[in-house]
Structure 1
Amino acid sequence: MNGPPEEASPAPGVPRSPLLPRLLEAVLAVGTELELRATLQQIIDTATALTGARYGALGVLGPGRTTISELYVTGLSPAEKEAVGALPNGHTGLLGALIEECRPLRSDDLAADPRSSGVPPGHPPVHSFLGAPVRVHRRVFGNIYLADKRTGTFTDTDTTLLRVLADQAGIAIGNARLYESARQRERWIEGAAAVTTTLLTGENVSDALMTVAERARLLSDAAAGVILQPTEEGGMEIVAASTREDPAGLVGTTIAPGSPVLEQLLGGEAVFVDDSATDPRMTTPVRSRFGPSMMLPLQSGGRLIGTLALPRGRGARPYTDVERLLAAQFASQAALALVLADSQHDREQLAVYEDRDRIARDLHDLVVQRLFATEMMLESTRRRTAAAETDELLGRAVDELDSTIQEVRTAIFALQQPPAEAPTTFRGQVLRETGGAAALLGFPPSVHFEGPVDALVGGDVADRLLAALRGALAAAHRHSGVSAIEVEVDATTVLPDGRAAVRLSVADDGRGPDGARVPPVTWQAPL
């Protein structure tokens, strides 16, 4: 005969109705979140409501599984949370006993229970207690703590409900951790790709290091991202720092030779610290500002570029194994990107040098030679002509060509100097001074050299002439109507007493305060 279907019997140990629908709702509720922290808060809220507890907490165990690293609470008002102050660490009382025994514990009267101790002074009065471990993949992840049942004391049914809910919570936490791990890996991979793209666009060294430090800080949720590089004295120095607030006091901080952690860093080893402020290996004066930290080598192909340090603030959660692995992979990728960017910069510089050399050769082999040949033809024509007017015109043309040749040779010399290096010769220093003045004047001064300037001028003489040149260029800028400045350095000058000397002359077409033309300024110094 057909009749109404029989109600399915619940699994052994699962309470029968009317609590069964509530348990099923609770099980479904704890699986609705994928974000881990939201899942943990949902679990303790659901457990508290299901058992009728007034207060609840879910304690996440630290890496050693002997202390509570994070605590999610429910039932306390903001004022009560403030009155409680620091939350328990799980070393004492029933919280500690639950960590040690890893099985459900119940107490009907905390005041009479010898295992009860360590309740924070500001916590509201509690009488009954129920706790159970939460396992994820057979390992204890944390514990659920329930206190002060509203209708009396916790029952066996409450214990069974909590056990079932804890089992389901373990599954929900495992799923949330897998989701969070996947999201973390995605973010770190995207971050490493973004750093590589940015570095290969041509940033200079300091900007490149700051890019790595800032991106790593954001990805790891650290208080600071720091780059350290080896020093000549054998220590390490912070050369770039990215922080949420003012980074004052970080850049320039050094790890002195002999520090316990230095040998590991210089050897390219990763160092993980639970608390920077108290770890004896940490010796920097800024360590008191930070808590958990990891220091990761930036090395590629056996070359150590430096160390990436990612410290979190005091009291912050420690780094997980997944975070350490992802950060280490990021550091390896960033080091490779830094090496590639450096190689690309060298190739670009080499291409610039080769192009400048080619231009200089073309100017010397083609332009200067043709100008010189034209000058010789004009000089020959000038000697054969008899007309005074023609002779004067040709003389001026020869002078102009000679001046042009000198300026082209000066341009050739400038092209042959490495653009990123400070000039070491007197000729190069003069060109640097006039080139810097061009930005202020709005036009480049004309520069002429006579004689072996670089071979004869140096030391104190060069310093005095450069100081005089800077003063003359600054004075010329103050003249009204100035549109051209001629600088001449002549190393073939002979003093009246027969000594060789160098002469510096600066002339401009401006006018002084009285409207008169300003005469050239000249300095002479014996060689």
Structure 2
Amino acid sequence: MDKTDSGLFSAFVGIAGGLELASTLRRIVQEAVELTDSTYGALGVLGPDGDVTEFIHVGMDREVAENLGEPPQGKGILGVIIEDPVALRLEDLTAHQASVGFPPGHPPMHSFLGVPVRVGGAVFGNLYLTEKRDDAFFTEEDERLVEALAAAAAVAIENARLYESSRRREEWQQAVADIATTVLSSVDEEEVIPLLAHHARAISGADACVVALPDSRGQLIAEVVEEYDAHKIFRSPDPRWAMNRSRQRTLRSPAFDGLAQEWIGREIPANSLLHEAMNQKQTLRQTGALLNIDQPRTFGCVVVIPMMNDDQAIAVFALIWDIDVMNPNPDALESVESFASQAAVTLVLAESQREHERLAIYEDRDRIARDLHDLVIQRLFATGMSLQGALRLGELNEGVEDRISRAVDELDETIREIRQTIFALHEPSTGPATGIRGRVLREISQSSALLGFNPSVRFVGPVESFVSDRIGEHLLAALREALSNAMKHAQAQRIDVMVEVDPATVVLMVSDDGVGVSPSGPSRRSGVANLSARAQELGGSCSVERVSENGGTRLVWRVPIG
């Protein structure tokens, strides 16, 4: 075996050394460069429409390649072989009539050899070799060797594609199983959605994935953004979801910088591709896609896939590729579409299960509320009446009478608190609270986790009838500010909240047993000023006073009903 045949045999062994498509394609280019003693080599993969979908190159420094911008799109000399897929050998490619020159910063190239690579009878792509070393030209022998290498490469590519297809199918099946296991175990949606994004990006080979869901107004909100770094899953990072990916690459476009930080929780513009796919209920694709929330970002390709259930789009995936990928693998996209369909069904079933559980909880709450109202309150009320009856007998000494009076007052307060608890039990635990009572109780419930105890609440008068939406918004903001002040400054162990309504005014009173910080002190001035400003906007007033010399603060926020 002569040196040439030995090199060809070594190249055959090299390209057959793996089953992952991305690494196989790169090895084909590397072996072609070594076999022909070239300086540069590349493989332009063609899509169904004949466009270059991927451009794998070797020999050029990464920094130089990055500064050149977008990869070649099959124009000039490269396009000659695309239009007429036969071998082309040139001593000086710049002298060819089809030459369109090089972009600034591109290294000089003269000698050229191009050979098509056919897989299954169709042109898969073209091998390009330039700048044979020692200022030599490519020979007929070089052409013969590269054509032989291309034939062997076709077999390696077909095997790698079969392997990729099989692996993708396994990934898709595993992804569906993971989603089903996760959502049916009653895991919160905030953990499920990042898992969907991860699997969609991994199966498709995309560089980023955005999952958007419609809110109650029908507006699309970006819930999750997962980027190429397997641990960079925004909203719910979890290393166990990391999957090895064969298409190792460095993102070249600055369009990915700060993408997640800008998009998470934001409303998607109505004229975006995501809304269009949601409304049309079909997969949409755009090359050179422009996505915009705060700043325009241009990507190589964006594919938006709606998650459908009973002809209803319940969410969308936006799969995003860097500028060097204009045409993603169609087989991969088909797998993601299948995954999206299965995941949508699973999510709907899981939501149905959670709704059933919520109904069971509400029924239990209603039973508890009835028992509290019909049994506990009535017994407490009867006990209070008995104690008051004992007072009217007039045969008790003064100390005993005082103790009984205090006990009756405590029973009255307990009855009021139980009634507030009954009202809270009738409020949904999720979703927006309805009415001013429910919203006040929701604010206090949320603050209790930070306070370490539950503030007491008391409503006096027909608050639901007299507190308008405008007054209610200001009242809730004042309540938040008052609770925040008590948390930060008062070191309170008890907080009492009262909302009182009469035909003329609405009063919010918040009292605490804390250290009694002076309302004129620097730590309180800003908060009190905000509260006063809100009251004055409605024609009212706000005052803060010390309860006693031993401490405690009382805030009274009062506005007229207008």
Same fold (TM over 0.5): yes
- CA offset at residue 181 of structure 1? 2.6
Q: Which residue of 2 aligns with 1:30?
A: 15
TM-score (normalizing by structure 2)? 0.71
Q: Deviations over 1:435-491 (max 9, x none)?
A: 4665565443444556x5346643488789878877877787799896545556677
Match of 2:373 among 350, 364, 376: 364
Match of 2:327 among 318, 326, 333: 318
Q: Which residue of 2 aligns with 1:348?
A: 357
User: SS of 1:305's equivalent?
Assistant: strand
**Which stretch has the larger CA shift, 478-487 or 175-184?**
478-487
Q: Does 1:60 align with 2:44?
A: yes
Q: Does 1:273 align with 2:286?
A: yes
Please give the alpha-carbon distance, in whole angstroms, between the structure 1 residues aligned to 2:362 and 2:32: 72
Please give the alpha-carbon distance, in whole angstroms, between the structure 2 residues aligned to 1:490 and 1:233: 33
Q: Does 1:333 align with 2:342?
A: yes
Match of 2:386 among 377, 381, 394: 377
Give the 5 Å matches for 1:407-426. 407-426=417-436
Count of aligned pairs between the two proteins = 496
User: SS of 2:324's equivalent?
Assistant: coil
Q: Deviations over 1:182-240 (max 9, x none)?
A: 33333344344444444445565566545533543354343432234568998856555
**Which stretch has the larger CA shift, 350-359 or 374-383?**
374-383
Please give the alpha-carbon distance, in whole angstroms, between the structure 2 residues aligned to 1:35 and 1:502: 71
User: SS of 2:384's equivalent?
Assistant: helix
User: SS of 2:126's equivalent?
Assistant: strand
Please give the alpha-carbon distance, in whole angstroms, between the structure 2 residues aligned to 1:37 and 1:124: 27
Cα 1:132–1:445 shift into 2, 3 Å: closer
Q: Which residue of 2 aligns with 1:139?
A: 122
Q: Is the 8 A contact 1:371 1:401 kept in 2?
A: yes
Cα 1:381–1:175 shift into 2, 3 Å: same
- CA offset at residue 140 of structure 1? 1.2
Match of 2:412 among 402, 408, 418: 402
Amino acid at match of 1:416: H
Cα 1:24–1:312 shift into 2, 3 Å: closer
Cα 1:68–1:438 shift into 2, 3 Å: closer
Q: Which residue of 2 aligns with 1:185?
A: 169
Q: Is the 8 A contact 1:57 1:146 kept in 2?
A: yes
Please give the alpha-carbon distance, in whole angstroms, between the structure 2 residues aligned to 1:332 and 1:263: 18
Amino acid at match of 2:28: I
User: SS of 1:97's equivalent?
Assistant: helix
User: SS of 1:98's equivalent?
Assistant: helix
User: SS of 1:34's equivalent?
Assistant: coil
Cα 1:116–1:297 shift into 2, 3 Å: closer
- CA offset at residue 266 of structure 1? 0.7
Q: Which structure has the greater CA radius of gyration?
A: 1
Match of 1:297 among 300, 306, 313: 306
Q: Is the 8 A contact 1:40 1:58 kept in 2?
A: no
TM-score (normalizing by structure 1)? 0.75
Q: Does 1:41 align with 2:51?
A: no
User: SS of 1:386's equivalent?
Assistant: coil
- CA offset at residue 319 of structure 1? 0.3
Amino acid at match of 1:276: A
Give the 5 Å matches for 1:40-189. 40-50=25-35, 52-55=36-39, 57-64=41-48, 66-74=50-58, 88-93=72-77, 95-107=78-90, 109-110=91-92, 117-118=99-100, 120=102, 122-124=106-108, 126-127=110-111, 129-147=112-130, 156-189=140-173
User: SS of 2:206's equivalent?
Assistant: coil
Among the aligned pairs, what percent are the same residue? 36
Please give the alpha-carbon distance, in whole angstroms, between the structure 2 residues aligned to 1:72 and 1:426: 63
Q: Deviations over 1:95-146 (max 9, x none)?
A: 4333333233445x4479856734648544544x544322111111122334
Q: Which residue of 1 aligns with 2:525?
A: none
- CA offset at residue 326 of structure 1? 1.6
User: SS of 2:300's equivalent?
Assistant: strand
- CA offset at residue 270 of structure 1? 0.6
Tell me the C-alpha RMSD between the 2 structures: 4.6
Q: Is the 8 A contact 2:213 2:220 kept in 1?
A: yes
Q: Is the 8 A contact 2:86 2:116 kept in 1?
A: yes
Amino acid at match of 1:39: T
Q: Is the 8 A contact 1:250 1:286 kept in 2?
A: no
Please give the alpha-carbon distance, in whole angstroms, between the structure 2 residues aligned to 1:466 and 1:375: 34
Please give the alpha-carbon distance, in whole angstroms, between the structure 2 residues aligned to 1:306 and 1:364: 43
Q: Is the 8 A contact 2:212 2:221 kept in 1?
A: yes
Please give the alpha-carbon distance, in whole angstroms, between the structure 2 residues aligned to 1:518 and 1:82: 66
- CA offset at residue 174 of structure 1? 1.0
Q: Which residue of 1 aligns with 2:249?
A: none
Q: Which residue of 1 aligns with 2:238?
A: none
Q: Deviations over 1:252-274 (max 9, x none)?
A: 464446x8996554121111223
Please give the alpha-carbon distance, in whole angstroms, between the structure 1 residues aligned to 2:60 and 2:222: 44
Q: Which residue of 1 aligns with 2:252?
A: none
Q: Is the 8 A contact 1:44 1:56 kept in 2?
A: no
Q: Which residue of 2 aligns with 1:13?
A: none
User: SS of 1:407's equivalent?
Assistant: helix
Please give the alpha-carbon distance, in whole angstroms, between the structure 2 residues aligned to 1:472 and 1:284: 36
Q: Is the 8 A contact 1:135 1:167 kept in 2?
A: yes
Cα 1:366–1:212 shift into 2, 3 Å: same
Q: Is the 8 A contact 2:204 2:333 kept in 1?
A: no
Unaligned 5+ residue runs, structure 2? 228-255, 517-545
Please give the alpha-carbon distance, in whole angstroms, between the structure 1 residues aligned to 2:553 and 2:335: 71
User: SS of 1:272's equivalent?
Assistant: strand
Please give the alpha-carbon distance, in whole angstroms, between the structure 2 residues aligned to 1:395 and 1:82: 84
**Which stretch has the larger CA shift, 462-471 or 31-40?**
462-471
Please give the alpha-carbon distance, in whole angstroms, between the structure 2 residues aligned to 1:511 and 1:261: 54
